Amino acid sequence: MSVTTYTVTGMTCGHCVSSVKEEVGEVPGVTGVDVDLESGRVDVSGDSPDDGAVRAAIREAGYEVTA
């Protein structure tokens, strides 16, 4: 089990958080998604989920990954 942290920009409300959690949660290997709206921090835990797939899921939700 690993945890990878991403910095996401553009999230402004609880609906934004839900969208990111839903999209990232569908990536194979992801077992948990913790989003902090204030800082834009997204912690993704799982069994080595594909980094590119996680980043694509965040973009699919409508947000940008800066780190």
Any residues with CB less than 8 A from the CB of 52 and at least 6 apart, and which? none
Question: Which pLDDT tens digit goes with each residue over 19-40?
Answer: 999 999 999 999 999 999 999 9
| pLDDT of 5 over the 90 cut | yes
Phi, psi of 29 (to 5 degrees): 95, -15
Any residues with CB less than 8 A from the CB of 50 and at least 6 apart, and which? 27, 28, 29
Tell me the pTM.
0.92
